[in-house]
Amino acid sequence: MDWIASPLEPVTPEPPWDPHGTPALPQTSMKTLFPKFDRKGGFSLLEIIIAIAIIAILVGVVGYRSGSAIQRGQASRIMQLVKTCEKAAATHYADTGAYPREYEVTQNATNRQMSSTQTSTGWQGPYIERPFANQDTNPFGTCRVYNNLQAGNWIPGFDTDGDGTADLTGNGCMLYLTGLPQEVVQAIDTSLDGGVPGDWFTTGRVVWQQGSNRTLIYIFK
């Protein structure tokens, strides 16, 4: 006689039979095995905050390095201008016995003594490849070479040894620049005045006047 289950007893179905003789495991899903695996609800607020923080840090690092590289490039460009003017002023002085001045190209020839033909005795220029052009020679503003270290009465001279007293005054050549960012001026100062005592912006060959956004660099005497 066949066994008949009592209506009060629950009947447990037998699992599917494996042809090799081993009962097959019931089918399950990743959601069943790992309840937290389900991502239908999206990321948690904490995960989003952490991701944003990591991205912000990476962007900051890249931005800082990019900004530093740009500033180094700008400072290098000004340093090259300083070297060019040093050589030009020294050669002009050797040829003529006078300190030259060089203003932007819009000025008349008498104020462009390193780039424009002069009638002064011994002049054998031009001493620079091309005249100064604002926003070109100096990407930040005006660029001039004055033939007096106290031109404009901006400074009493240059305190190159940092003892508090100007030791280079009177006739001589200085580079006048406007608009340079502080970071660029500091990079130039580090290159030219590293180790000079005193405030970096008042001593040595580089003087930076923040209020007027003016940078003065000693060139030749």
Indicate the helix (H) or strand (E) that contains 89: helix 45-96
Domain ranges of the chain: 45-220
- Rounded to whole angstroms, how far apart are CA atoms 35 and 166? 79
pTM check: above 0.95: no
* Torsion 174-175-179-180 (CA) sign: negative
pLDDT in tens, 61-96: 555 444 467 767 888 999 999 999 999 999 999 999
User: Pairing between strand 143-148 and 206-209?
Assistant: unpaired
Confidence check: pLDDT of 33 > 70: no
Beta bridge partners of 177: 143, 215
Residue 16 pLDDT class (50, 70, 90 cuts):
low
